[in-house]
Structure 1
Amino acid sequence: MVPPRLTLVSDNTREKTGKAKSGDAEETRDAGSAVPELGDPDAAIDHLTQSAGREKLRRLEAMLFASHQPLDAKTLAARCLDEGDDVHSLLIALQAEYKDRGVVLVRVAGRWQFRTADDLSYLLERQQKEERKLSKAAQETLAIIAYHQPVTRAEIEEIRGVSTSPGTLDVLMETGWIRPRGRRRAPGRPLTYGTTEEFLIHFGLDSIKDLPGLADLKAAGLLDANLPPGFTMPSPTDVAALMPDELPLTDESEEEQEALPLDGDETEEEPDASKKEGED
């Protein structure tokens, strides 16, 4: 019978094994440190709060990513948040997370939308897409409407100093950037025009008040530095409701119907005097 062979284990091997075991224990302790201990209720509450906050950010992210149009805070809160949640703070936190990403969260026309970062937009350009450039007259007309709304065609012509073709207004309405607002309380009741939400979304504005002012236009070189004395620019205002000098848009046929007397309101005509005399 052959005796079993004995293998001697050196102290170095035992030391390495001991170090490996101690390292595993340290890694286990480090991994366990991320989870709050059962005996620490405050840490457990904080952990649950952070987890709930992350889940709400994920919901907002999913809703905004799937939507093809901007969503307002009220809609987002109703669809994916709990009652009492601060949707504005959550949106700001989500916007901060995407600050330096290829896709950023922006606020346009009072609503929220994911968009490609401005410095990366060239990557998504489609060369086969044909873009129609606005004529100079259309650009001037659009600028006047944006800054002076509500404004009539006659007022646009007075500001420009030349007549405005009806086709110019038609082109701007086809783009969806302007719309008829109402009618001026003046002879002839001319239409008044204003900008739309599509205008704000296309130009990346949260509200019409974000249009550049006089100093911004000068700095961009869009205005002559030698302007006449007393030159001013109107402060664009967001006027969704009709102004006191505006009437609502109504169908002319309905107005004619309102002008006609209703059944039963007709006054009885007095009989002709000559007929009375003949009857007598």
Structure 2
Amino acid sequence: MTKETPELDTELEDLPPDLRWREWMGRIEAVIFASAAPVRAADLARVVGQGASVDLLIEDIKAELAGRPYELVVVGDGWMMRTRVRFAGAIRAAADVRDQLVDLNEFEVAVLASIAYHQPLTRDGLKDIFGKDINRDLIARLRAQELITPGPRSPRAGAPYTYVTTQKFLVVFGMESLRDLPDHEGLQDAGLAS
């Protein structure tokens, strides 16, 4: 026998407007906090009244979190909570976060960056960029860390797999979208491109 979940009162008409707004803020913050993945605005809209603006509620939550060690950020097409960068050292010192860290060597980062900039990209495309074959094990490691995933099959002979970056890639590198990738000039300034 399954237990039925009572329907959520999203309108909260029995509350005065200021308390209703605070309750909606709390609901949105709780949903984002509880989710391991970014939460889309359309999903957040299901916990607030029809006349409520998710964007305005998010802005009010962000304002309240201004002095906190975590923040609300856009990742892809959704919202998530993330610890502020300045607290990374304290977290590493006090908490066991090893299984959450992405462990990449310099060459793996270069391969990942190539995929990010040229996706969808085949292993042959990577070979053209690096001038050597890219080991299947390296691709498997990036896939195992959920940083890349197979993309559409290439229209070339044999229809080889292509690879594209994932939402976790955006989360790990703190980007809202691929538009946040540095341009060539930014890479040069960082000493990452010749």
Identify the TM-score tier after normalising by the shorter chain.
0.7 to 0.9
Three-state SS of the structure 1 residue aligned to 2:162 is strand
Deviation (angstroms), 1:187:
1.2
1:216 maps to amino acid: G
Three-state SS of the structure 2 residue aligned to 1:83 is coil
Q: Which residue of 1 aligns with 2:165?
A: 195
What are structure 2's unaligned runs of at least 5 residues? 1-15
Larger Rg: 1
Q: Which residue of 1 aligns with 2:98?
A: 129
Take 2:102 and 2:61, find their aligned partners in 1: how far apart are those partners?
A: 35
1:145 maps to amino acid: I
Q: Which residue of 2 aligns with 1:111?
A: 78
1:173 maps to amino acid: R
Q: Which residue of 2 aligns with 1:213?
A: 183
**Residues 67 and 133 (structure 1 numbering): CA distance in 2 closer, same or farther, change over 3 Å?**
closer
Q: Are 2:73 and 2:81, in contact at CA under 8 Å, matched by a contact in 1?
A: yes
**Residues 97 and 180 (structure 1 numbering): CA distance in 2 closer, same or farther, change over 3 Å?**
same
Identity %: 34
What are structure 1's unaligned runs of at least 5 residues? 1-47, 225-280
Q: Which residue of 1 aligns with 2:63?
A: 96
Q: Are 2:102 and 2:145, in contact at CA under 8 Å, matched by a contact in 1?
A: no
Matched, 1:171 2:171: no
Deviation (angstroms), 1:127:
6.2
Take 1:65 and 1:133, find their aligned partners in 2: how far apart are those partners?
A: 25
1:210 maps to amino acid: D
Q: Which residue of 1 aligns with 2:43?
A: 75
Three-state SS of the structure 2 residue aligned to 1:183 is coil
Take 1:203 and 1:190, find their aligned partners in 2: how far apart are those partners?
A: 28
Q: Would you say how many aligned residue pairs link Structure 1 and Structure 2?
A: 177
Three-state SS of the structure 2 residue aligned to 1:88 is helix
**Residues 185 and 132 (structure 1 numbering): CA distance in 2 closer, same or farther, change over 3 Å?**
closer
Take 2:64 and 2:173, find their aligned partners in 1: how far apart are those partners?
A: 24
**Residues 53 and 122 (structure 1 numbering): CA distance in 2 closer, same or farther, change over 3 Å?**
same
Deviation (angstroms), 1:147:
0.2
Take 1:196 and 1:152, find their aligned partners in 2: how far apart are those partners?
A: 16
Q: Which residue of 2 aligns with 1:244?
A: none
Q: Are 1:102 and 1:117, in contact at CA under 8 Å, matched by a contact in 2?
A: yes
Q: Are 1:137 and 1:168, in contact at CA under 8 Å, matched by a contact in 2?
A: no
Q: Which residue of 1 aligns with 2:31?
A: 63
Matches within 5 A, 1:225-240: none
- Report which structure shows greater RCO (CA 8 Å, sep ≥6): 2
**Residues 128 and 191 (structure 1 numbering): CA distance in 2 closer, same or farther, change over 3 Å?**
closer
TM-score normalised to structure 1 length: 0.58
Q: Are 1:184 and 1:191, in contact at CA under 8 Å, matched by a contact in 2?
A: yes
Take 1:220 and 1:109, find their aligned partners in 2: how far apart are those partners?
A: 24
**Residues 62 and 181 (structure 1 numbering): CA distance in 2 closer, same or farther, change over 3 Å?**
same
Match of 1:182 among 152, 160, 165: 152
1:180 maps to amino acid: P
